[in-house]
Amino acid sequence: MNNILQEINTSDSLIEDKVDEYKHLHVDSSLDADLLMIKIDKYEKEIQEVLDLCVAEMEYLKYWKELRINKLTDGLNWYKQNLEIWMIQSEKRSVNLPHGKAYYRKQPFKVEVVDENRIIKSGFTRITTHVDKKMLMEHFKKTGEVVEGCEMIKPDEKFYVKVNSQYKGDMDG
């Protein structure tokens, strides 16, 4: 495990060294800009690889967690069931033992809706109101009017870079 972490830390420092190595570069021509596009594409691909690996690992951990929790829950339920059977046989409503308590508690009534339409016709409904931001935006676009109680926020421009991933060469050297 320590070797894996050491490898990860080593590769992280190599990335930092590469970034430091390119900090002195200046873009003086279209060729320089295009070479930067190649580097940007490489970094974007590496980022995507890390994200894909992370997703795969999280899926595996989720699967492992579900298996483990299900197995442990089965064992827990078996013990609880046996304790409850013993309490029923002993005609006890509660027990206080050195390692814990077990008891029955009355539960409140619960509502289960069997026929929703019949309930709605009987008047047992609640209506909630939410602001429709899409409708506000459409009104603003049509009329130019800002509805009282809201503000229209225009975000600053954002810089994007879209690289053509057709280049398959290596620009490390």
Identify the pLDDT of residue 157: 74
Spatial separation of the C-alpha atoms in residues 62 and 23, rounded to whole Å: 40
Q: Find all residues with CB under 8 Å of 147, minimum gap 6, and list them.
A: 136, 139, 140
Spatial separation of the C-alpha atoms in residues 171 and 35, rounded to whole Å: 8
Spatial separation of the C-alpha atoms in residues 103 and 88, rounded to whole Å: 11
Q: Of 108, 81, 84, 109, which Cα lies nearest the Cα of 94?
A: 84
Q: Is the pLDDT of residue 67 over 90?
A: yes
Q: Is the pLDDT of residue 173 over 50?
A: no
- Residue 155 DSSP label: P
DSSP states of 93-134: SEEEETTEEEE----------S-HHHHHHTT---------HH
Tens of pLDDT along 89-141?
Answer: 999 999 888 888 999 988 888 888 888 888 888 888 888 888 889 998 998 89
User: 37 and 163 in contact (C-beta within 8 Å)?
Assistant: yes
Mean pLDDT of the chain: 83
pTM above 0.85, yes or no: no
3-class DSSP state of 85 = helix
